[in-house]
Each structure stands twice: as C-alpha cells, then as structure tokens.
Amino acid sequence: MGFYSNFSEQDLIESYKNLIDYQGKPSEEILEEISKRGSIDDFVNKIENQKLILDERNKIIREIHQYYLNKSSKEETLLLLKSDLLSTSEIRVLVEEKYADIHYRTENLKIDSSTIISSIIGAIIASIVSTMVMFLLLAAINSLIVFNFFLLIPIYIINYLIIKFFTNKTRDNLAVFIATFVATVLNCIYFFVLIYFNE
C-alpha cells in the first residue's frame, strides 16, 4: 500500500501541485497512484479545469467588488455579470456572499457618533471590569506589590471583548482599537494609584 493510496482525489491534486511547485516534477509514487485511479492526462486536465474555474471566480469577485463600489444593486450586478465557466446559480451565490461581506467590512470600519460614544462607554466599563479581574488574579497569587506585565495580554483581550460588545465592531475599527488601548492604559493607572495609596 503506497503513501498516497488513502488520499482523497482533492488531497492527491494538492499533493501533486505542491510537488510541481517545490520540486518541479511529481514523484514516481504519486504518478503510480494517479495511474491506478485513471489516466494521468485526465488528472492533469482536472487540475487545469480547477485552475480555470478558480481564476474565473476571482475575476467575478473583482467585478462584484467594483459593482458594489459603483453602488449597483445585487440585481443589477447579476444582470451585468457573465461567465462561460460558472452557472447563474453559482454567480448568484457569489454576489450574495460578497455583497454581505463587503457591507459588513464597510460598516465595521465606519466611525460615527454612535461608535465613538459606545467606544468611550465600553472603554470605561471595560477598564473597571478588567481591573477588578486583574486584582483578583494578583490577590490569588499573592503578588500585589509587583505589577505583572504578563497580565496586560488577558486584560487587553477582556477590554477588547467588552468594547466589541458595546460597539458591535471589531478591532479593525479605529475607534475600537483606540478605546481598547485607552482602557488598557487606564488599567495600569488604576493599579499604580491603588498601590500608591496602599503604601
């Protein structure tokens, strides 16, 4: 039983392509497995066909993106897109997915007054909650005297998750990124103020 005998057809295709990319030619073992399953010419044609379909999908996706930026509706985009390799239903699925994805990304990056207010509120609440978590962790390990910088990573994550909850936007949004950073700086200030007053 050869190394490639349990590979699915797609795994075999990926292995074949990797061998071509990195060694310039396929191994005898993979060619033997391909021959057992059918013609090597048919196998190579299948790879070429997959590449053509992938190139066509990428071309259609670029066109969809352009139509979205030109404010074309999904229906208008569907009428304008043409392909000899992809069916109408495949194009429709691509349009639906890409319009939803582009819309989400655009909305996620948008900074409006609601995002700013939510980020500020989120930063304040996040800094208080994560500071309490930090003090609980430090108390648990009896190390309040020395600030442990390794705690900044989980605290930053807690801050981000709370701010994300308030804004409904990810750290790709500049307001969310800044608010998370500010909340983490506030954590440090709270800690040093508390240590100062406890001395």
pTM: 0.66
Give the domain-ending residue among 88, 109, 130. 109
Q: pLDDT tens-digit profile of 102-126?
A: 989 989 999 999 999 999 999 999 9
Q: How much is the pLDDT for 148? A: 60
Of 60, 80, 109, at which residue does a domain stop?
109
The tokens describing 17, both together, are 């392509």
Domain-embedded: residue 117:
yes
| pLDDT for 49 | 92
3-state secondary structure of 143: coil
Please count the structural domains in the chain. 2
In a domain, 8, yes or no: no
pLDDT at res. 34? 86
Q: What is the pLDDT of residue 55?
A: 93
Burial class of residue 71 in the structure, from the number of CB atoms within 10 Å of its CB (0-12 exposed, 13-18 middle, 19+ buried): exposed
CB 70 within 8 A of CB 102: no
Q: Are residues 184 and 143 in the same domain?
A: yes
**Domain housing 122:** 113-192
Low-confidence ranges of the chain (pLDDT < 50): 144-145
